[in-house]
Chain A
Amino acid sequence: MTALLEARDLRASYGDVEVLHGVDFEVHPGEVVVIVGANGAGKTTTLRSICQLVRTRGALTFDGQSLVGRPTAEIVRLGVGLVPQGRGTMIDLTVHDNLRAGGYIRTDAHEVSQDISFWYETFPRLFERRDMLAGSLSGGEQQMLAVARAMMSRPRLLLLDEPSLGLAPVVIQRLFDVLEDVKQQREVSMVIVEQNVSLALQMAQRAYVLEAGEVVMAGSADELRDNDGVRRAYLGY
């Protein structure tokens, strides 16, 4: 099976400081991949380099097309969606406008409004607050809006940066249930960067461990869960 996303010797830098020192990873169609690592390991940078929000070198292909040097907007149009760390909703737009903006690249107006209805059914809180500014939502509501907004573009690959950050356990569980449904129903591949490693590993097929900008371990979700080093460092037992 050919990979949907493939990175070879991917390097990323902020100014003169290189943060990713040549990482290799791949995501296959329909697969959920988790990236695990300590603070500063380069997880967020990995997601940002897929969207070309940081300067990168090396080989990076999505669906056979090279992404390096492409404008971010074009990569989104190819079918990549990012839910950035810290929500990434447009706080001074209404909830409804955020969802409409999520479907900005689509031309099938009728199906866009059907999708908006779908997300309102999935997250009824968003429907109740559809005319309020996104910035006035609670953290959990904003995160749900961010996921729904990213899904509105019907991406084939969804990148999630710490979706559980700052959320109550019950909200996190709800969010991951929705992500699981989305993955099943819409055949979306995902890359999840997550502090809540045990929860993310439940959902994932494979995982990579990043340390100081390099991949130090890669394997199936089960392998990583059983690995003593990973367990002590990231699962905490």
Chain B
Amino acid sequence: MASIATPPQDPTGPMAEAWWREHSLATNLGVIGALLGALSIYAITDGGFGLYLQRVFDGFSSGVLYGATALALVLVFKATKVINFGQGAMATFGAYLAYTCVNNLGFPIVPAILVAMVASAVMAGGIERALVRPFDPNNHLAILLVTLGVYIALSALTILIWGSNPHGFPNLISDGSTSYIGIAGARLYYEDILEAVVVAVFVLAIVLLLSRTRLGLAMRCVASSVESARLLGINVGRSVQVSWALAAAAGTLAACLSAPSTFIQPGFMDNVLLYAFAAATLGGLDSIVGSVFAGVLVGIATSLLTAYVPAFGAEFGSGVAFLLIVIVLQIKPAGLFGRHVMERV
């Protein structure tokens, strides 16, 4: 739809709604851009451009992974209408599967990640079938508690199988921690570029699946209304199951890309999950692209705030995420990209 420069005459018509949606998105992005810009100017004058650029690169590379994890949350939220608290534990479990493929079975890292993504997708499909589907889809509290249960059970299972010691995890590029492009003294690692490309391809695949295929149409109908989907002859359970499986694959991918820099250990995705909550909230919870974009925004903002605002300090990163969640819920509960459709009577 072409953007419209001035508000339409009829303030309640459909064109007006579209205009306000675009207009408010532009305003919000403008406000965020201005805040980040002001912080950037302060940061550059304070510590120099090279250091500033490095913070942005660091923030971007973590932000991509926050975005991928947020994507997993959004996929489940669209299908089941709950936040999957088990997402971090599922992703951790998936990363351990990849770790086992590499260490015990001698797989190269890329096939190991792919196998782990498929395996965790199958597992998530099983979790959906066995633990989620028996509940009335409208009983959100019960399903939310089930996801908490999944978190506890999978965390325990992970420690039981792999122990609690941290292990190293291979990079995508074998010399990933040393090969980089130098820009004004800042290091942009090839590994981080590749990570961003991999996540972008995955997101694009999900977007195409949702917008172009029959399965995607069914998934969008279920996200819109379970009862309407049933009345179209859609097998709601199977459609929700596919969403859970895709979410698990996305989470495992994010975990496998995070593991080289954080080491793999039980609960290592819990921290990422907190930022992903913030990103999903900022993105609007039901927007795939929005959540990934918001993930990058959260990554960069956190990196800059913790680096340049002395009061926050390096350990306050998760505090930034928490603050962001509270602020977004207060000021703009629908997020940046969320659809806030008024019901007509």
Contacts and interface: CB of A to CB of B under 8 A. Distances in A.
B230 A73 contact: yes
Most buried by A among B225, B230, B233: B233
Given A132-B18, A142-B344, A84 B214 contact: no
Contacts of A88: 228, 231
B17 to A, nearest CB: 5
Question: What 8 A-B pairs come out closest when comparing CB atoms?
Answer: A136-B14, A105-B233, A76-B233, A90-B224, A72-B230, A135-B341, A104-B232, A73-B233
Given A90-B225, A91-B224, A93-B224, A73 B14 contact: no
Nearest to B342: A135
Nearest to A91: B341
B221 A101 contact: yes
Given A136-B18, A142-B344, A149-B232, 14 more contacts: A73-B232, A76-B232, A76-B233, A77-B233, A84-B228, A90-B228, A92-B224, A104-B218, A104-B232, A104-B233, A104-B234, A135-B341, A135-B343, A135-B344
A131 interface: yes
6 contacts: A90-B220, A101-B232, A101-B234, A104-B217, A104-B218, A104-B234
In which size bucket is the chain A interface?
A: 35 or more
A124 to B, nearest CB: 16
B341 A131 contact: no
Contacts of B233: 73-74, 76-77, 104-105, 153
A174 to B, nearest CB: 19
Interface of B: 1, 14, 17-18, 214, 217-218, 220-221, 223-225, 227-228, 230-236, 339, 341-345
Contacts of A139: 344-345
Interface in A113-134: 129, 131-133
Contact of A136 (B17, B217, B218): B17
A185 interface: no
Contacts of A40: none
Nearest to A150: B231
A89 to B, nearest CB: 8
Interface of A: 51, 53, 71-74, 76-77, 81-82, 84, 86, 88-93, 97, 100-102, 104-105, 129, 131-133, 135-139, 142, 149-150, 153, 166
Given A133-B341, A136-B18, A90 B231 contact: no
A86 B228 CA distance: 12
Contact of A72 (B18, B218, B231, B341): B231
A76 B230 contact: yes
Contacts of B232: 73, 76, 101-102, 104-105, 149, 153
A84 B232 CA distance: 12
Contacts of A90: 220-221, 224-225, 228
Given A101-B221, A104-B218, A104-B221, A92 B231 contact: no
A131 B230 CA distance: 23
A14 B21 CA distance: 39
A138 B224 contact: no
Nearest to B13: A136
Nearest to B14: A136
Contacts of B234: 73, 101, 104
Given A129-B14, A136-B17, A137-B14, A91 B343 contact: yes
A97 B235 contact: no
Contacts of A93: 220-221, 224
B217 A166 contact: no
Contacts of B227: 53, 84
B79 to A, nearest CB: 14
B319 to A, nearest CB: 34
Given A132-B18, A136-B14, A97 B339 contact: no
